[in-house]
């Protein structure tokens, strides 16, 4: 038999080591997800056991950060789930228009595609000038990439498609300049975006905001941790504020579900009750 | 109880294959089934609803954290990988595509193998890529039972062949025989 399931004890110890050494807490992340990521790193690194990885984490800074990167899944897209963005235009923008100033938090923003999408949407709706977008992630490397706003050209086709299907009002090419094999987001979109390192598991409330996006992050957390994070979001939202989750996420495990109205059940858009 | 779960993977031609097998399962078939069918990321799940009507069993998209229950057929949602946790619940991830696919059959099969070991069945159906081969091999290594649709009877033989090139399956069968065998497994359970 080949090296079979990695012992749960070893994984628990490794996560403990990462926490104590680097302060990143993965102890309440879904085990199947962690196991899958660690197995692939194990195969690449040539190490034999998770215990050997633990030794590396404790004695090799570089390795520890490689693991952090492995455990943070950064897959994202611009206008991911176009129907969701359509619903934002229809159901959320009218609410935002009633505010003199709008604060938006993208929690787990990855390489920034979501934040740029929102900036575009706000601009088209005439709201950008009175908005502030806080885009946060705990992965500094991906945050730096987000800040730069430079993406691979081969993504343009998908992003343009998504943008059009989401009900975009202009031509997507208005929002970037192409350069060799990269495209660069229009600098003016960044004007009101603040990029910040924030760990939603270990750091506290970030700001008081009108809208929170946290899409496809909570799926990686166990129930208890999801509950804690939902509490954090609830405390961060103003009354009447809007919470946007990923298409397969919800509030089902928490009592907080009674404290929100469903603005769009299918697109997972919720409004905090007054 | 010998079998706690059946996992299935199919790609092109899979809708017909899966429909044919599920409609031939006996009433009250109780071993839970978890399946990945490659579909477009924007598939609206209509095909799942159509299965629900014919199968007479409860067919649904797998939700995150949902507990796997007897008598249910769970389908991986479009654009997410589906994983099984030690406590018999589902996890979803939007991790990169594997074999150009999300959901990927390998991802489901490997995580299921780790959890269920010899108490599971893995099945590879028709398809024009090689997703699922490594996963099925994993199931076999950990003691599970493996079935591959007979490539000669498959709409696209490539996926069954890819699996067979990595490992000798326990059974190589037509769709009709696969359904028969599953009914027998369920009865003996
Ligand atoms: C799969 S991406 C989702 C990106 C985007 N929200 C979307 O749906 O397209 C998940 C992001 O969450 C971040 N993340 C995971 N755990 C986190 C934590 N504890 N605090 C902050 N960010 C976290 C990861 O670094 C990654 O960039």
pLDDT in tens, A208-254: 999 999 999 999 999 999 999 999 999 999 999 999 999 999 998 88
Contact B95 A36 (CB under 8 A): yes
pLDDT at A189: 97
Chain B residues inside the 8 Å CB shell of A253: 65
Q: Respond yes or no on whether ipTM tops 0.85.
A: yes
With pLDDT > 70 as the criterion, what percentage of chain A qualifies?
98
Question: What is the C-alpha to C-alpha distance for residues A117 and A11, in angstroms, rounded to an integer?
Answer: 37
Candidates A248, A250, A267: best to mutate against B (most CBs of B within 10 A) is: A248
pLDDT digit string, tens, across residues B141-178:
999 999 999 999 999 999 999 999 999 999 999 999 99
User: Is the CB of A216 within 6 Å of ligand 1?
Assistant: yes
Cβ atoms of A259 and A273 within 8 Å: the answer is: yes
Cβ contacts of A37 on chain B, cutoff 8 Å: 95
* CA contacts within 13 A on the Cβ side of B65: 18
A225 contacts A153 by C-beta, under 8 angstroms: no
Burial zone of B152 (CB within 10 Å; 0-12 exposed, 13-18 middle, 19+ buried): exposed
CA of A187 to the centre of ligand 1 (A): 24
- Rounded mean pLDDT, A112-127: 98
Active site residue B131: yes
Residue bearing tokens 């298409």: A247
Please state the rounded mean pLDDT for residues A30-53: 93
Q: Which of A1, A30, A249 sits opposite B91 (nearest CB)?
A: A30
Tokens at residue B186, please? 């369920």
CB contact under 8 A, B142 and A1: yes
Peptide bond into B60 cis (omega under 30): no
Residues of A in contact with B141 (CB under 8 A): 1-2, 4
Secondary structure (3-state) at A205: coil
Indicate if ligand 1 lies below 6 Å from the C-beta of A121: no
Examine the residue annotation and report whether B11 is marked as an active-site residue of this protein: yes
Q: Considering B104, B106, B131, B156, which one is annotated as catalytic?
A: B131
A256 DSSP assignment? G
């Amino acid at each position: 038999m080949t090296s079979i399931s990695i012992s749960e004890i070893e994984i628990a110890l490794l996560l403990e080591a990462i926490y104590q050494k680097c302060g990143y807490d993965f102890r309440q992340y879904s085990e199947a997800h962690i196991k899958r990521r660690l197995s692939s790193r194990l195969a690449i690194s040539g190490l034999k056991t998770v215990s050997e990885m633990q030794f590396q984490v404790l004695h090799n800074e570089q390795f520890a950060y490689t693991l952090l990167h492995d455990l943070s899944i950064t897959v994202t897209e611009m206008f991911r789930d176009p129907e969701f963005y359509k619903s934002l235009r229809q159901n959320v923008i009218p609410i935002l228009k009633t505010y003199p100033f709008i604060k938006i938090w993208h929690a787990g923003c990855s390489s920034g595609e979501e934040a740029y999408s929102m900036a575009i949407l706000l601009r088209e709706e005439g709201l950008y000038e009175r908005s502030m977008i806080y885009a946060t992630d705990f992965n500094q490397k991906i945050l730096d990439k987000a800040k730069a706003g430079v993406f691979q050209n081969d993504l343009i086709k998908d992003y343009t498609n998504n943008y059009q299907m989401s009900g975009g009002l202009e031509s997507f090419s208005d929002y970037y300049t192409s350069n060799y094999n990269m495209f660069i987001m229009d600098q003016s979109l960044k004007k009101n975006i603040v990029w910040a390192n924030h760990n939603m598991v270990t750091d506290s409330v970030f700001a008081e905001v009108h809208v929170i996006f946290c899409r496809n992050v909570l799926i990686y957390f166990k129930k208890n941790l999801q509950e804690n994070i939902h509490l954090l979001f609830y405390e961060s939202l103003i009354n009447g504020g809007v919470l946007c989750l990923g298409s397969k996420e919800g509030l089902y495990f928490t009592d907080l579900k009674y404290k929100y109205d469903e603005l769009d059940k299918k697109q997972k858009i919720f409004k905090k009750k007054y | 109880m010998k079998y706690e779960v059946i996992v299935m993977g199919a790609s092109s031609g899979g809708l017909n294959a899966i429909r044919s097998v599920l409609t031939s399962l006996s009433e009250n078939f109780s071993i839970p089934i978890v399946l990945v069918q490659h579909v477009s990321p924007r598939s609206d799940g209509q095909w799942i609803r159509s299965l629900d009507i014919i199968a007479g069993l409860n067919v649904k998209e797998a939700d995150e954290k949902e507990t796997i229950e007897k008598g249910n057929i769970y389908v991986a949602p479009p654009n997410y990988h589906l994983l099984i946790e030690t406590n018999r619940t589902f996890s979803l991830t939007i991790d990169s595509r594997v074999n150009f696919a999300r959901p990927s059959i390998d991802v489901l099969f490997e995580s299921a193998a780790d959890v269920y070991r010899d108490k599971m069945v893995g099945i590879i159906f028709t398809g024009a890529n090689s997703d699922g081969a490594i996963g099925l091999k994993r199931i076999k290594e950990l003691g599970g039972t493996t079935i591959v649709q007979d490539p000669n009877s498959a709409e696209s033989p490539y996926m069954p062949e890819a699996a067979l090139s990595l490992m000798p399956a326990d059974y190589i069968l037509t769709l009709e025989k696969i359904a028969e065998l599953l009914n027998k497994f369920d009865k003996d359970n």
